[in-house]
Structure formats: structure tokens, C-alpha cells
Amino acid sequence: MVLKIRQKTFMLAMSLALSLLALAASEQVYGQRNSDITRRELRNFDRFLDVHPEIDADLQKDPTLVNNQQYLDAHPALRDFLAKHPGVREELKETPRYFMLRERRFERHGGDITRQELRNFDRFLDAHPEIAEDLRKNPKLIDDQNYLANHPALNDFLAKHPGVRKEVAENPRLFMRRERRFERHERIKRTAKRST
């Protein structure tokens, strides 16, 4: 009995030690974690990188380039962006790897999709249930030229809402998932209002 307790204690201690080592290793890889990073800074930087994919690719490979004056001189758009966004500049200087990690997560999870874009698209889909059904089954249709040619209302909507078009093009499945979540939330709000 005492042996089992000692074995369990030893296993727990080893598990804790390994967890601490993993945390220390991630701190070395990504730099000191920085809780000062705001969603606004991430959104601003994400939008900048969306427009400058070559800089995005460079910084994904080596985030410390933001602290390299030669690189900044060769990329005046980045230099100007950092001058106009001191919060982003400061966070990138302090923890470039961690900031880029957070930006990748932000992008992957659709953090730059605005509620207004979701609201506009939700209203469009409510008015066009056949398109809504098609897109729920296959979100990639929204970027299919044949589908758009056969559904001019969707093509017109996307032309008038370039933010939606951009976000959908980046990740159609994620955008449709966020739209469904928005729809459920709106339905719950409407039901709650009717019951009061």
C-alpha cells in the first residue's frame, strides 16, 4: 500500500516536472508571454499582413526581423505601419515570436471577422434560404465562379461587401461556422424578447 502511494507521488512529481520543463521550453521558443497584447493590435496587424503577404511570410519564418533595421528599411510599408501603431511595435519588439504566434491564432480563429460583417451576411442568407442551404453544405461554393454566375444576388452582395468577400475567401468554412453561431445567438435574443 505504501509502495503504491510512493509510486503515485513519484508519478505526480514527474508529471509536474515535465510540465514545468515544457512551459520553460515554450517560453524560450516564444519569448516571455505578454498579456499586454490587445485584440485591436492583433486585428490591425492581421489586416496589415493580409495586404502584405510577402512580409507575412518573412515574419512567420523569422519574427525577429521586426527588430532588424535593414529589413525595415527594405520594407517601408512595415516601417510606416509600426510607426503609426506604437502598441504593435512595442509588443513585437518585446516578444516577436509570441506576438506572431498570437497573430496566427487570431487569423486561424477568424478574429478579424466583425459582427457587422456577420450581421450583413446573416441578413442576406435569411433573405436567400436556398443559397444559405447550399453554403451550409459546401462553404467553398462562395468562391466558385460558376456558382456565383448562377446566383447573381450573392455575387452582387459580395461586390457590395468586400469585407465579407475577403473574410470568406480566407477561410470559407470558418466564416460559415461563425455565421451559424451568430444566427443561433440572434435567434435566442429574438426568442427572449418575445417571451418578456
pLDDT tens by residue, 8-43: 665 655 555 555 454 444 444 444 444 556 777 777
Q: Chain centroid to CA 13: how far? A: 36
Q: How confident is the model at residue 193 (pLDDT cuts 50, 70, 90)?
A: confident
Q: Based on the domain organization, do 75 and 127 belong to the same domain? A: no
Mean pLDDT, range 158-168, rounded to an integer:
80
- Greater model confidence, 117 or 66: 66
- CB < 8 Å & 24+ apart, contacts of 80-89: 81/45, 81/48, 85/41, 85/44, 85/45, 87/36, 87/38, 87/40, 87/41, 88/41, 88/44, 88/45
End of a domain among 70, 89, 108? Answer: 108
Range of the domain at 91: 39-108
Q: Based on the domain organization, do 94 and 142 belong to the same domain? A: no
Q: Is pTM beyond 0.75 here?
A: no
End of a domain among 49, 74, 108? Answer: 108
Q: Residue 95's pLDDT is what?
A: 80
Q: Based on the domain organization, do 135 and 65 belong to the same domain? A: no
End of a domain among 74, 108, 142? Answer: 108
CA dist., res. 178 & res. 141, Å (int): 17
Residue 4 lies in a domain: no
Q: Based on the domain organization, do 182 and 128 belong to the same domain? A: yes
Residue 33 lies in a domain: no
According to DSSP, residue 66 is labeled: G
Our CA angle for 56, 116, 57, nearest 5°, is 5
Residues 87-118 as b or e (16 or more Cβ within 10 Å = b): ebbbbbeebbbbbbbbbeebbeebebbeeebb
Rg (CA), the chain: 23
**Domains in the chain, number:** 2
Mean pLDDT, range 48-62, rounded to an integer:
86
- Mean pLDDT, the chain, rounded, equals 76
